[in-house]
C-alpha cells in the first residue's frame, strides 16, 4: 500500500512500513523502516524527520537558508560533493569534468505496475509501485528511484540513471540501495567462504570503520554472498532483523558504515571497483534490483519472508512450487570415465531404487578425457558413446527415468576446436601470459556475436535428444580481464550477455529443469534464480560441513533452491566418514540427489537408500516447499496448514555430559494436537564393535566369519519415539528424547548416538 501525504510517502506491507519525505531543499529524507505504522496526515510522518537547527561544528551546511548538513541526515540516495562524506550511491563524471552531484526531487507517481528491467532480471508479481524522478541540479541527468512494495513484507528498489545531455556521462558508481538508520545498534551479518567451503556466517560488530562485503571476481562468488543482514542483536525467533539481497550475479558490494554522529548506512549494488560505464546521450543505466525485508520475529521470521518472496516473485512461475525429481549424478561415481555401459548400469540400478532422473555430468563430450581439454566442443564423444546422446537418452527414458546433462557454456579450453576456431572470443589480454583457472578460458559474453553463437550451439544440443534437465556449470572466476568494450564495462556486459543467453534458452526450452552451478556455490544468487529454479549449493557433500552450508543458505534462500546430494564415504572432499543416515537427513532438507556409485554399495546400504527414497517421496512437498525453521541442532519443515511437519536433529559430536536431548518444535499451531514419532532405524551390528557382546546371547569375535554373517542378517533396532501432545507443549517445552547410549547395554529405550547422530521426526495433526 502506498500513501502520499503532502511531501511524504508511506509504503506499507502486511507487517512493515517504510517512510520518506521531500526535504524543503529537495533531497529525499529517509524517515522510517520497521514494524508497520499508521499515519493519515503529513504532520504525523514529520514526527519522524530529523530536527536540525544548525550544522554541527565543521559539518558542511547544504545552503545558507537551511540548517541541513547532508552528512547528518538519513537520505534515500546520496552522492559526492555536497557535504555527505559517507559511502555514496552515485558517482558521476560530467562532461565539464566536475563530479559533484546534487539530485533533487522532481516528480512522483504510483501505480500497480511491476515493470521488468531491460538489461537485467527483476522480481515479478503483484505489488504497488512508487516512481520518483530526481534531477541533477546542474546537469541534465535524471535519477529514477522505483520502489516496489510486496505485501509479503518485502520492498524492492531499482535505480536508473538517464543521460539527457548531448555529451557522454561517465558513471563510476551506480548503487541500487541506500538505507540510513538513526543509530548504530546493529550487528552486520555476512556469509563468506570459498570453494567447497561456502557460506560461513560472520557476525561483525559495527564501529566507525566501514565494513565491506564484496566480490570482484566476475561472479557474485562464494567469497562474499550478496545476501546480508543487519540485526538489532536478534535471536533466531525474536528481535529485529533487516535482510538485503541483490538480483545480480556479477561483482557486487555491500557496505555498512557508521557516521561520526553514530548513524548507520548500508549501501548495496554493483561493485564500483573495476567499474566505469560510459552512458551516451539519452541512454539509461539500470542498476540491479535490490531487495529488503524486515522482521521483528528474529532470523527465522526474516527467513520465512525471504523464502516466500523468492518462490513467489523470483523463481519463474512455471517452476515455483513444482516438485523436483530425485536424481543420480554421475560425477563422483565416474568422474570423466563415462561410457555407455557404465552409464546404463548406474541408471538401471538408480531406477530400481526409485530414483527419477539420471544426470550425465562432465566427461561426455568430444575429447573430454580430463579437465585440460574439450570445453566448447558440445558434441558427443563417439568413443565413449558410439550411439550418441539421443540413443542414450531414449534408453534411459525406457527405464522409466528422466535424462539430464551437464554443460559449461561460458568456458573453453585452449585444447578445443572452439578455441582453435575463435581464439579471439575469450577474455584475455593478447600478448601477455594468461593466468588460467582449471585450464580454461572464460568466453567473452560481453560480445553479442559470442552470445548468439553459444545460444545456437546450446539450442542444437538441447534439441538433439530427450533432455529433461540441464546442469549449467561455471568453473572459473575471472582474471586477465580485457575485451574490446570500454575498460570498466567488461564485467557488467558479461553478466548482461549471460542473462540474455539464460533468458533465451530457458524460454526456448521451458520443459527443461535448469540447475545453476559454479564449482558448487560460487554464483548462488537471485540473478541465477530468476532463470534457473535451483542451484548446486556446494561441491562439499560431507554431512557435517553440509549442515552448516545449508543452514546458512536457509537464512536468505528457500530450501527449494538448493540441491543436495548423498555421496559416498570417505567423503571426496574431506575424507570424513559419516553415516549414510546423516548424509540423507541433511540432504533431504531441500532437493535430494545421490552422487555415488550405487552398484558398489552393500545390500544394507541399498535397502536403506530405498527406504530414504520412499520417505522423501512421501514428504517431498514438505522437504522442498514447507516453511523451514532452524531449531536447536536441526531443522523443521511445516506445511501451510500447520498440520504436518518433519523435524531433523543432527549432533555431530557425542558429548557424554549432554545425554539429555530435547527436541523443541517450531512453526506448529499451539492449539492443535499432534502425533510425534521418529523414523524407525536399524543399525549394522558392526557399528557397535565389540560392544555388541553386551547385547548378544553368544560371544561374537570382531572381524570373524560369524561376525560378518550375523551382521548380514541381524540388525540392531533403533529407539522408538511415539508421543501425542499439543503444539504449545511441543514448541515451548519440547520432547525429551530417549537417553543416549553409554556403555550400559542397548535396547529400544536407548538412543544409539555415535558421532554424526541424526534422526527424522514426523509430526502430524491428530485427534488422539
Ligand atoms: C564442478 C561441479 O561443482 C561438480 O559438481 C562437477 O559438475 C564438476 N564441476 C564437473 O567438472
The DSSP H or E segment spanning 405 is strand 402-407
Q: Ligand 1 pocket by C-beta < 6 Å: which residues?
A: 331, 361-362, 406, 473, 475, 517, 519-520, 536, 539
- Residue 737: CA count within 13 A, CB half-sphere: 25
Confidence of residue 744 (pLDDT cuts 50, 70, 90): low
CA-nearest residue for atom 3, ligand 1, is 519
Rounded to the nearest angstrom, the distance between the alpha carbon of 278 and the centre of ligand 1 is 37
Write out pLDDT tens, residues 169-200. Answer: 999 999 999 999 999 999 999 999 999 999 99
Q: How far is the CA of 565 from the centre of ligand 1 (A)?
A: 13
Active site members: 473, 539
Closest C-alpha to ligand 1, atom 1: 519
DSSP category for residue 61: P
Encode pLDDT of 313-342 as tens digits: 999 999 999 999 999 999 999 999 999 999
Nearest ligand 1 atom, CA 517: 3
Q: Determine contact, residues 243/300, Cβ cutoff 8 Å.
A: no
> How much distance in Å is there from the Cα of 596 to the middle of ligand 1?
14
Q: Give the ligand 1 atom nearest the CA of 518.
A: 3
Higher-confidence position of 43 and 742: 43
Instruction: Write out pLDDT tens, residues 15-53.
Output: 999 999 999 999 999 999 999 999 999 999 999 999 888
Nearest ligand 1 atom to alpha carbon 371 = 11
Cβ-contact 169, 186 below 8 angstroms: no
Residue in 603, 566, 598 with CA at minimum distance from that of residue 584 = 566
Best probe residue, ligand 1, of 335, 336, 362 (max atoms within 8 Å of C-beta): 362
pLDDT in tens, 639-681: 999 999 999 999 999 988 888 999 999 999 999 999 999 999 9
| CA 398 to centroid of ligand 1, rounded, Å | 27
Ligand 1 pocket mutation pick from 198, 331, 360 by most atoms within 8 angstroms of CB: 331
The region, left, alpha or beta by phi > 0 then psi within -120 to 50, assigned to residue 53 is: alpha
Q: Is the pLDDT of residue 701 over 70?
A: yes
Asked if 296 contacts 302 with a C-beta cutoff of 8 angstroms, the reply is no
Residue among 327, 409, 473, 563 to mutate when testing ligand 1 (max atoms within 8 A of CB): 473
Q: Residue 321: left (phi > 0), alpha (psi -120 to 50), or beta?
A: left
Q: How far is the CA of 313 from the centre of ligand 1 (A)?
A: 29
Show Cβ contacts of residue 371 under 8 Å, excluding neighbours closer than 6 positions.
336, 362, 413, 438, 439, 440
Q: Which of 552, 565, 514 is CA-nearest to residue 628? A: 552
Q: Whose alpha carbon is nearest atom 2 of ligand 1?
A: 519
Q: Render pLDDT for 116-139 as a digit per residue (tens, 0 to 9).
A: 999 999 999 999 999 999 999 999
Name the residue at shortest CA distance from atom 5 of ligand 1: 539
Whole-model pTM?
0.97
In tens, the pLDDT along 566-620 reads 999 999 999 999 999 999 999 999 999 999 999 999 999 999 999 999 999 999 9
**pLDDT surpassing 90 at residue 707:** no
Q: Is the pLDDT of residue 695 over 80?
A: no
Q: How far is the CA of 425 from the centre of ligand 1 (A)?
A: 23
Amino acid at each position: 500500500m502506498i500513501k502520499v501525504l503532502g511531501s511524504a510517502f508511506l509504503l506499507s506491507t502486511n507487517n512493515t512500513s517504510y517512510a520518506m519525505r521531500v526535504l524543503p531543499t529537495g533531497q529525499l529524507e529517509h524517515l522510517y523502516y520497521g514494524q508497520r505504522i499508521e499515519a493519515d496526515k503529513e504532520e504525523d510522518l514529520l514526527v519522524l524527520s530529523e530536527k536540525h537547527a544548525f550544522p554541527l561544528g565543521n559539518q558542511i551546511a547544504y545552503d545558507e537558508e537551511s540548517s541541513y548538513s547532508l552528512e547528518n541526515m538519513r537520505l534515500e540516495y546520496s552522492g559526492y560533493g555536497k557535504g555527505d562524506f559517507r559511502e555514496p550511491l552515485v558517482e558521476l563524471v560530467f562532461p565539464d569534468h566536475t563530479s559533484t552531484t546534487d539530485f533533487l526531487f522532481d516528480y512522483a507517481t504510483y501505480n500497480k505496475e511491476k515493470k521488468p528491467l531491460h538489461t537485467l532480471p527483476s522480481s515479478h508479481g503483484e505489488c504497488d509501485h512508487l516512481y520518483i524522478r530526481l534531477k541533477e541540479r546542474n546537469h541534465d541527468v535524471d535519477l529514477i528511484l522505483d520502489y516496489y512494495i510486496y505485501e509479503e513484507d518485502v520492498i524492492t528498489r531499482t535505480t536508473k540513471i538517464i543521460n539527457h545531455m548531448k555529451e557522454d556521462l561517465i558513471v563510476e558508481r551506480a548503487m541500487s540501495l541506500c538505507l540510513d538508520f538513526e543509530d548504530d545498534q546493529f550487528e552486520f551479518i555476512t556469509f563468506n567462504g570459498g570453494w567447497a567451503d561456502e557460506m560461513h556466517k560472520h557476525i561483525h560488530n559495527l564501529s566507525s570503520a566501514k565494513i565491506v562485503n564484496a566480490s570482484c571476481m566476475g561472479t557474485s562468488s562464494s567469497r562474499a554472498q550478496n545476501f546480508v543482514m543487519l540485526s538489532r542483536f536478534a535471536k533466531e525467533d525474536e528481535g529485529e532483523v533487516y535482510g538485503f539481497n541483490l538480483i545480480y550475479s556479477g561483482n557486487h558490494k555491500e557496505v555498512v558504515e557508521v557516521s561520526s554522529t553514530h548513524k548507520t548506512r548500508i549501501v548495496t549494488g554493483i561493485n564500483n571497483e573495476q567499474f566505469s560505464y560510459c552512458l551516451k546521450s539519452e541512454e539509461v543505466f539500470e542498476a540491479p534490483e535490490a531487495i529488503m525485508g524486515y522482521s521483528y520475529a528474529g532470523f527465522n521470521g526474516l527467513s520465512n519472508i525471504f523464502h516466500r518472496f523468492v518462490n513467489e516473485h523470483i523463481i519463474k512461475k512455471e517452476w515455483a512450487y513444482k516438485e523436483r525429481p530425485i536424481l543420480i549424478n554421475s560425477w563422483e561415481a565416474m568422474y570423466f570415465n563415462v561410457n555407455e555401459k557404465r552409464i546404463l548400469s548406474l541408471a538401471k540400478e538408480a531406477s530400481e531404487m526409485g530414483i527419477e532422473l539420471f544426470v550425465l555430468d562432465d566427461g561426455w563430450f568430444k575429447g573430454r578425457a580430463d579437465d585440460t581439454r574439450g570445453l566448447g566442443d558440445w558434441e558427443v564423444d563417439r568413443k565413449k558413446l558410439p550411439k550418441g546422446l539421443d540413443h542414450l537418452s531414449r534408453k534411459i527414458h525406457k527405464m522409466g527415468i528422466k535424462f539430464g546433462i551437464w554443460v559449461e557454456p561460458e568456458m573453453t579450453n585452449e585444447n578445443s576446436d572452439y578455441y582453435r576456431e575463435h581464439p579471439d572470443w575469450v577474455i584475455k589480454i593478447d600478448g601477455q601470459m594468461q593466468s588460467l583457472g582449471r585450464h580454461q578460458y572464460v568466453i567473452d559474453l560481453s560480445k553479442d556475436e559470442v552470445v548468439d553463437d553459444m545460444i545456437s550451439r546450446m539450442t542444437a544440443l538441447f534439441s538433439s535428444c530427450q533432455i529433461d534437465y540441464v546442469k549449467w556449470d561455471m568453473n572459473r572466476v575471472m582474471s586477465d580481464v580485457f575485451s574490446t568494450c570500454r575498460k570498466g564495462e567488461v564485467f557488467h556486459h558479461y553478466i548482461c550477455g549471460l542473462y540474455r543467453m539464460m533468458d533465451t534458452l530457458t524460454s526456448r526450452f521451458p520443459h527443461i529443469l535448469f540447475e545453476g552451478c559454479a564449482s558448487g556455490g560460487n554464483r548462488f544468487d537471485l540473478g541465477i534464480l530468476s532463470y534457473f529454479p535451483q542451484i548446486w549449493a556446494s561441491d562439499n557433500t560431507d554431512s557435517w560441513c553440509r549442515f552448516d552450508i545449508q543452514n546458512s543458505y536457509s537464512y536468505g534462500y528457500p530450501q527449494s533452491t538448493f540441491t543436495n546430494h548423498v555421496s559416498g564415504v570417505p567423503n571426496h572432499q574431506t575424507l570424513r566418514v559419516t553415516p549414510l543416515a546423516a548424509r540423507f537427513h541433511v540432504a533431504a532438507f531441500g532437493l535430494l540427489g545421490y552422487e555415488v556409485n550405487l552398484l558398489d554399495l552393500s545390500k544394507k546400504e541399498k535397502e536403506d537408500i530405498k527406504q530414504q527414497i520412499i520417505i522423501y517421496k512421501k514428504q517431498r512437498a514438505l522437504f522442498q516447499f514447507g516453511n523451514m525453521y532452524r531449531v536447536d541442532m536441526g531443522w523443521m519443515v511445516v506445511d501451510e496448514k500447520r498440520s504436518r511437519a518433519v523435524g531433523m536433529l543432527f549432533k555431530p559430536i557425542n558429548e557424554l555430559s549432554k545425554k539429555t536431548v530435547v527436541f523443541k518444535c517450531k512453526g506448529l499451531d499451539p492449539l492443535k494436537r499432534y502425533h510425534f514419532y521418529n523414523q524407525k532405524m536399524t543399525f549394522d551390528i558392526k557399528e557397535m564393535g565389540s560392544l555388541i557382546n553386551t547385547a548378544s546371547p553368544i560371544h561374537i569375535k570382531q572381524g570373524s566369519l560369524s561376525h560378518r554373517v550375523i551382521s548380514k542378517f541381524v540388525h540392531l533396532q533403533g529407539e522408538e519415539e511415539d508421543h501425542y501432545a499439543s503444539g504449545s507443549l511441543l514448541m515451548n517445552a519440547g520432547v525429551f528424547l530417549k537417553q543416549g547410549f553409554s556403555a550400559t547395554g542397548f535396547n529400544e529405550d536407548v538412543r544409539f548416538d555415535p558421532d554424526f547422530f541424526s534422526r527424522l521426526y514426523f509430526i502430524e495433526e491428530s485427534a488422539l
